[in-house]
């Protein structure tokens, strides 16, 4: 979860990150629909097998869920991600007045 979050703003995006981005905007989607959306937004040449493997990995990690033949982001993963960001924001807001250590 955190590794996906930390790479979300850097380029180039991995197939897994593109899949997450696709499923943020549109869901539920079949594996073929995900593949077609990945091709539209990705500048790299990606195979169906690579997208399907990434979908399986994301599913095994709990980032996405499958309902019938369709995939979407796991609501629990979204909640955990939101909690992680909230905790980070609170920590940094609370510690803003702390001076930086000498390097």
Mean pLDDT value of segment 2-25: 77
Which residues share a beta bridge with 73?
64
pLDDT at 2 over 90: no
How far apart, in Å, are the Cα atoms of 61 and each of 77, 86, 91, 99, 103?
Answer: 10, 22, 27, 38, 38
d(CA 25, CA 76): 17
| Cβ atoms within 10 Å, residue 76 | 11
pTM over 0.95: no
**Residue 80: per-residue pLDDT:** 94
Task: Copy the structure tokens of residue 86.
Answer: 């909230």
**Residue 10: per-residue pLDDT:** 55
What's the pLDDT tens digit per position in 30-41?
Answer: 999 999 999 999
How far apart, in Å, are the Cα atoms of 98 and each of 82, 93, 95, 101, 102?
Answer: 25, 10, 5, 9, 12
| Cβ atoms within 10 Å, residue 51 | 24
Bond into 12 cis (ω within 30): yes
**Residue 97: per-residue pLDDT:** 58
Domains of the chain, start order: 2-94 (1.10.10.10)
Instruction: State the helix-helix crossing angle for 48-61 and 15-25, rounded to 10 degrees.
Output: 80
């Amino acid at each position: 979860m955190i590794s996906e979050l930390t790479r979300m703003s850097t380029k180039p995006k991995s197939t897994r990150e593109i899949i997450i981005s696709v499923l943020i905007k549109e869901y539920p989607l079949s594996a073929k629909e995900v593949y077609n959306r990945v091709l539209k937004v990705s500048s790299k040449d990606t195979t169906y097998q690579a997208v399907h493997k990434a979908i399986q990995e994301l599913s095994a990690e709990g980032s996405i869920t499958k309902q019938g033949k369709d995939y979407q982001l796991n609501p629990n993963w979204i909640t955990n991600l939101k909690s992680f960001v909230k905790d980070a924001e609170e920590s940094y807001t609370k510690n803003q007045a702390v001076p930086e250590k000498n390097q």
